[in-house]
Chain A
Amino acid sequence: DIQMTQSPSSLSASVGDRVTITCRASQSISSYLNWYQQKPGKAPKLLIYAASSLQSGVPSRFSGSGSGTDFTLTISSLQPEDFATYYCQQSYSTPDSTFGPGTKVDIK
């Protein structure tokens, strides 16, 4: 099974900050990596697929990069609506995809 880890598990940031979240796979997954945002009590929302492709309708302040085992989600200028938990997901072993444990972004 492919294991996913994320760092940090949580972070505090201010509006306007640049935020970077890292996701690491236990083996190479090429670019088969997705990012989701989840707000409390809500369903996850797709942000990035194939490591760096921005989902339609998602603000351009979100970007993804990486390949192989190491990936990054960057929010270039944090907005109030971006405070949420972010999950990475590997789709290399679809349908048996696995999610990372999540990174909670809250207000400093």
Chain B
Amino acid sequence: EVQLVESGGGLVKPGGSLRLSCAASGFTFSSYSMNWVRQAPGKGLEWVSSISSSSSYIYYADSVKGRFTISRDNAKNSLYLQMNSLRAEDTAVYYCAREWVDYYDSSGYYYFDYWGQGTLVTVSS
């Protein structure tokens, strides 16, 4: 059974830092790209960051670029998100999500097929 379990959320002051972790099990973690998606309280979903299976390709949303760093340790089946210079608008539940792609008609169709339960990050003084 595929499982993704986030941890590391909590209350932090503006300008502070936090490191989120996502422990994966039930699948070959090193074969999949992984993502972080967040959801502010009462709001919709926002893609945050993506990392390829071997960490060769890393992408960020403009809203977090230069402040957040995504990484992974395939030996530990773990995904991380280092969040620095946190702002009130970063307050959200952060989900890790496994990325899958189906190929047909010479096109790749990407989607998030498994999600963790989320960890809440609150940025407040």
The answer to whether A binds B is yes
* A residues lining the B interface (CB < 8 Å): 30-32, 34, 36, 38, 42-46, 49-50, 53, 55, 87, 89, 91, 94-102
Are B111 and A99 in touch, CB under 8 angstroms?
Answer: no
Report, as a range, how many residues of chain B touch the other chain. Answer: 20 to 34
* B residues lining the A interface (CB < 8 Å): 35, 37, 44-47, 50, 59, 61, 95, 102, 107, 109-113, 115-118
Closest A residue to B52 by beta carbon equals A95
Which single member of A30, A44, A96 contacts B61 (CB below 8 Å)?
A: A96
**Closest CB in chain B relative to A49 CB, distance in Å:** 4
A-B contact pairs, 23 of them (CB 8 A): A32-B109, A32-B110, A34-B111, A36-B45, A43-B95, A43-B116, A43-B118, A44-B45, A44-B115, A46-B112, A49-B111, A50-B102, A55-B113, A87-B44, A91-B110, A95-B47, A95-B50, A96-B61, A99-B44, A99-B46, A99-B47, A102-B44, A102-B45
Tell me whether chain B's interface is mostly helix, strand or loop, or mixed.
Answer: strand
**Closest CB in chain A relative to B109 CB, distance in Å:** 4
With A55-B113, A95-B35 as known contacts, state yes or no: A49 contacts B44, CB within 8 Å: no
> Bound complex: CA of A44 vs CA of B47, how far in Å?
13
**Closest CB in chain A relative to B36 CB, distance in Å:** 11
